[in-house]
Amino acid sequence: MNVVTRFAPSPTGHLHIGGARTAIFSWLLARHFGGKFYLRIEDTDQERSRQEYTDSILASMNWLGLEHDGEVAYQSQRLGLYSGYVDKLLASGHAYWCDCTPEEVEAMREEARSKGAKPRYNGRCRELGLGPGTGRAVRLKVPRSGAVSFDDLVKGHISVDASELDDMVLRRADGAATYNMAVVVDDAEMGVTHVVRGDDHVNNTPKQILIYRALGLTEPVFGHVPMILGPDRQKLSKRHGAKAVIEYQADGLLPEALLNYLVRLGWSHGDQEIFSRPELVEFFDGTSLNGSAAGFDPEKLLWVNAQHLHKIPAAELALLLVPFLLEAGLKRCEAGRVARCIPLFQTRSSSLKELAEQLMPVLLPAGLLLSQKEAVEKTLPADLREGREHVARLREIFAKVEPFAQEGLHAALQKYVADNGLKFKAVAPPLRVSLLGYMGGPDLAAVMEAIGRPETLHRMEHAATGHFKFKNPVEGK
């Protein structure tokens, strides 16, 4: 099946999750059928369109891995094309010149309203046979009867009476084509076969179909996806934790996870929740789209992210973590060392940012390790020699463990506890605080193996001799 889709954002803001989801659906549909996916920036509204938003949308698409075919199309560079098509419609008698002023049109609308009818243009210039002239717009001669119907991929059969529709403006008096005209020309010129977009556009579709028909072109298949709502079923907003795609990137979400979450929000494949990108491409064929509005759930998104995060090989994850580690304050980031430490925390975190924060205590050099004052004071108080002594004696023991690996370290620790008739909990907390600076965290032998012998001994020496640097208790967690 020949499938050509497109994503056509207006650069009036960053890419948000609603837009991202339509982009993803369009991209998947094209990739599933081995077709084409185009990107078109609808930047004709000069007042609201901004280059920075175009850049941000492109960056978000790139981050999400929604690569497009061909060059990005900009509507602002195609104005002549739209006008040419309007001229075709004039020549074929499907459109006419209109010299009604905006005030006159408003008066017609008002009159219709006062009669309880739908506010509309009354067709005054339709049969006047006016030619070009300043201040004249061009309108479509909408058939007075008949139905405009289409089978929506999401919403099913939709039918509107042509008589319900206005003789819409195709080209304004200032020469600029209207939105519906431009979209039809672009989609037709690009050979788009499937238009997937938000259902805020569903009312435009019958109008666009009439333009296709007037131009003698076959209309594409349409799919209008419902809005994403907040968990309270209200319009999604910041207060629901909804963010722009670039913000999720900064929060340490994985593009695969956002992709997975957004597709599932409005599409299903049995009861599978976690999908890899290739699986989505394989399973998504434009069917099984949900017609009712989906509720956004930030916690579920984080859960989906965690599922993806836990599967990434450490070496790959180390590279993804670099910006987050630098952001967290690490000055030098050695990929091998990061990769060795990742398994300690990987399944304990839900985002790259969280994982980077958890890794900081093991990646910072001993002298820079910031400890929790409270944990140190509780487990290694200056006036209580015991905890520090355990650390000092264990340090001598660990210095000789060969190889310096989890199993041997664990056995050495057990032996020390048994030989001295101690309880494990008398020894583990001081050791933990000397290695990590806080209570809790992963298995100690695993931590030691990951950070290596020199660093382990260095940290234990620091602890035994009381050289701690403390976190600011206000900032410190």
Q: Looking at the DSSP assignment, which residues form a beta bridge with residue 156?
A: 152
Residue type, 142: V
Site membership for ligand GLU, residue 277 (CB under 6 A): no
339 contact partners, CB below 8 Å, separation of at least 6: 314, 315, 317, 318
Q: How far is the CB of 222 from ligand GLU (least distance, A)?
A: 9
Closest CA to 60 of 30, 21, 4, 33: 21
Task: State which residue has the least CB distance to ligand GLU.
Answer: 197
User: In the 8-state DSSP scheme, what is residue 176?
Assistant: P
9/442 with CB nearer ligand GLU: 9
Catalytic hit among 238, 331, 423, 477? 238
Number of chain residues interacting with ligand GLU (CB under 6 A): 7
Question: Could you tell me which stretch among 5-13, 211-219, 309-317, 435-443 binds ligand GLU (CB under 6 A)?
Answer: 5-13
Binding mask 186-225 for ligand GLU (x = CB under 6 A): -----------x---x------------------------
From 8-16, 262-270, 293-301, 403-411, give the range in contact with ligand GLU by CB under 6 A.
8-16
Binding mask 34-73 for ligand GLU (x = CB under 6 A): --------x-------------------------------
Candidates 7-15, 63-71, 221-229, 410-418: pick the segment binding ligand GLU (CB under 6 A). 7-15
Judged by beta carbon, residue 26 or residue 372, the one nearer ligand GLU is 26
Q: Are 76 and 44 in contact (CB under 8 A)?
A: yes
If phi over 0 gives left and psi between -120 and 50 gives alpha, with beta otherwise, what is residue 25?
alpha
* Interface with ligand GLU, residue 8, by CB under 6 A: yes
- Alpha-carbon dihedral 53, 59, 60, 63, rounded to 10 degrees: -170
Pick between residue 23 and residue 463 the one whose CB is nearest to ligand GLU: 23
Q: Does the footprint of ligand GLU cover residue 183 (CB under 6 A)?
A: yes
Query: 181-185 contacts: CB < 8 A, separation 24 or more?
Result: 181/82, 181/85, 181/86, 181/211, 182/42, 182/44, 182/75, 182/78, 182/82, 183/8, 183/42, 183/208, 184/208, 184/211, 184/212, 184/215, 184/217, 185/78, 185/81, 185/82, 185/85
- Residue 238 designated active-site: yes
Residues 6+ apart with CB under 8 A from 423: 417
Q: Which stretch binds ligand GLU (CB under 6 A): 6-14, 280-288, 352-360, 377-385?
A: 6-14
User: What is the nearest approach in angstroms of ligand GLU to the Cβ of residue 10?
Assistant: 4
Provide the minimum distance between the beta carbon of 8 and ligand GLU in the complex, in angstroms, as a whole number: 4
Q: What is the secondary structure of 349-393 as a DSSP string?
A: -SSHHHHHHHHHHHHS-GGGPEEPHHHHHHHS-TT-HHHHHHHHH
The answer to whether residue 10 forms part of the interface with ligand GLU (CB under 6 A) is yes
Query: Is residue 349 near ligand GLU by the rule CB under 6 A?
Result: no
Examine residue 444 and tell whether it contacts ligand GLU (CB under 6 A). no
Looking at the Cβ atoms of 14 and 197, the one nearer to ligand GLU is 197
User: What span, in angstroms and rounded, lies between the C-alpha atoms of 11 and 58?
Assistant: 10
CB closer to ligand GLU out of 180 and 358: 180
- Tell whether residue 9 is a contact of ligand GLU (CB under 6 A): yes
Crossing angle (nearest 10°) for helices 385-398 and 424-436: 80
Options 3-11, 210-218, 234-242, 428-436: segment touching ligand GLU (CB under 6 A)? 3-11
Name the percent of the chain in helix, strand, coil, to the closest 5: 50, 10, 40
Q: Which residues contact ligand GLU (rule: CB under 6 A)?
A: 8-10, 42, 183, 197, 201
**Residues labelled as active-site residues:** 238
